[in-house]
Chain A
């Protein structure tokens, strides 16, 4: 009798576990941005739940914090991490694999000045302080490329940290040119408080370079392959949905605290679908050069050296 009850209990437990959804913990930097918002939209729309996935999100400040969390296994997937950081981690033997591209090109970046500034375009920034976030970040790389493109050799690039820091310092007059990621800055530009003088969209070099990727560690990939594949499918589906359903703009506006019009402008003008395509790592050679220049890697690696890093990328259907 007791044995029969134990068997029944074990069977019930197994059945319960089988019926439970697979769970994934996902780290997201910069909560609210368009490209980092797709997982939240997928959760809100029930796409992950319908596919049998229970996704929990945690938010980071980005950078090495996210990489370490993924490597340690504290999170299953890390979204929107700079490709240079991942190349650096991989070159040092970290057990990481990229599963999708997250942002290609620099369409989300803008540079701006106070409305009364004499600076009209990037060409006028010679001798002036121009901000970016951190050394080796996409804002740093894009800025340097755009200054070169504009023929400006004596601007003073300065690291200021995040978007709010840049805004505080520009509006206080401590630096001349601030950086931002849309939609932040568009409301103020519309209101005439600031003037946008450069857009990452206009960078020739970065048009076709993947700057951020989504990745995980190899242990998670081995243990949760099926769940990861499902996650990738739903992620791609959510991206497609976000460009076809107006509700995505509502979510974007709510997450960022901007108006519906500004959110719409940010997506339509600055973040076209190719910028968030997840299937292909573009401009890898340039990224490898930059990784060496900024000491993320000890020397310039070749695409063959890093081929295993990208061997588990999601495939275009």
Chain B
């Protein structure tokens, strides 16, 4: 038993190390390429500052107070958007995927509305909800709804019909079928849909902060660009990307199957 435990740990350590090495190598290549382009003068280095300039700006950003209060605002907006848009999207996706009638009646409209650039509805949302975080959250929620609904609907339709027939032959209730057949089968589509929804919610919230706000990470980055403090802007964007990565990792971890690392 102890030997198995040691073996598993050893395997896990061996599995982690090449992944980290691969990621590290990719990061080094990207950074080296950036520095080479910045130093070469091939492109305007006002927009491609050196890594040192970006690092200095990153230190300023991370150890300054401005970042954290703006991060709290954006974080609240994105989480709220994901919660509302995600739950609504799952519910809609389940309904559309499980019912051919509902799918034929309403799924085309979900498709048709999905490509709308939601930013054009910002004035309407601000008129209804004010210029504070609520309107940004609403825009993020609307953005998150569509990939979630479409991904879940497609996932529901791919559930093996044999499993459904077995469930019916065991006279499981609709709720039991959803809980024991659909939801386990939908973990992967939910994960993919949630990650896309998270991305769109984040972009929706950030874009609305750029359009009209007085706080948030999008506002911070937009002000940096307006004042041409490009290194500072990249530092804020690095923080945004790190938050996006953390959010994605949290989703993957929360939806991993038992036994998965």
Which positions in A face B, CB cutoff 8 Å?
25, 27, 30-32, 56-61, 65-66, 68-69, 72-75, 162-164, 167-168, 171-172, 184, 256-257
B127 to chain A, nearest CB (A): 3
The residue that B44 contacts in the complex, of A32, A59, A162, A168, with Cβ under 8 A, is: A168
Stretch of B73-81, B105-113, B208-216 lying at the A interface: B208-216
B214 & A172 in contact (Cβ 8 Å cutoff): no
B47 & A168 in contact (Cβ 8 Å cutoff): yes
B212 & A65 in contact (Cβ 8 Å cutoff): yes
- What is the number of residues of chain B that contact chain A, defined by CB distance less than 8 Å? 23
A184 & B210 in contact (Cβ 8 Å cutoff): no
B227 & A25 in contact (Cβ 8 Å cutoff): no
A194 to chain B, nearest CB (A): 11
A74 & B44 in contact (Cβ 8 Å cutoff): no
B122, closest chain A residue (CB): A65
Tell yes or no: B2 within 8 A of A by CB: no
Give the complex CA separation of A73 and B126 in angstroms: 9
Which positions in B face A, CB cutoff 8 Å?
43-44, 46-47, 122-123, 126-127, 130-131, 210-214, 219, 222-223, 225-229
A69 & B126 in contact (Cβ 8 Å cutoff): yes
A226 to chain B, nearest CB (A): 23
The residue that A57 contacts in the complex, of B43, B123, B130, B214, with Cβ under 8 A, is: B214
A172 & B227 in contact (Cβ 8 Å cutoff): no
The residue that A164 contacts in the complex, of B211, B213, B225, with Cβ under 8 A, is: B225
Give the complex CA separation of A314 and B44 in angstroms: 47
Instruction: List residues of chain A with CB within 8 A of the CB of B222.
Output: 61
The residue that A61 contacts in the complex, of B127, B131, B211, with Cβ under 8 A, is: B211
User: Given A58-B131, A172-B44, A65 and B123 touching (CB < 8 A)?
Assistant: yes
Instruction: List residues of chain A with CB within 8 A of the CB of B213.
Output: 58-59
B229 to chain A, nearest CB (A): 6
B212 & A168 in contact (Cβ 8 Å cutoff): no
B223, closest chain A residue (CB): A31
The residue that B214 contacts in the complex, of A59, A66, A168, with Cβ under 8 A, is: A59
A173, closest chain B residue (CB): B44
Instruction: List residues of chain A with CB within 8 A of the CB of B228.
Output: 163-164, 167, 184
Smallest CB-CB A-B distances: 4 pairs: A72-B127, A68-B123, A172-B44, A171-B44
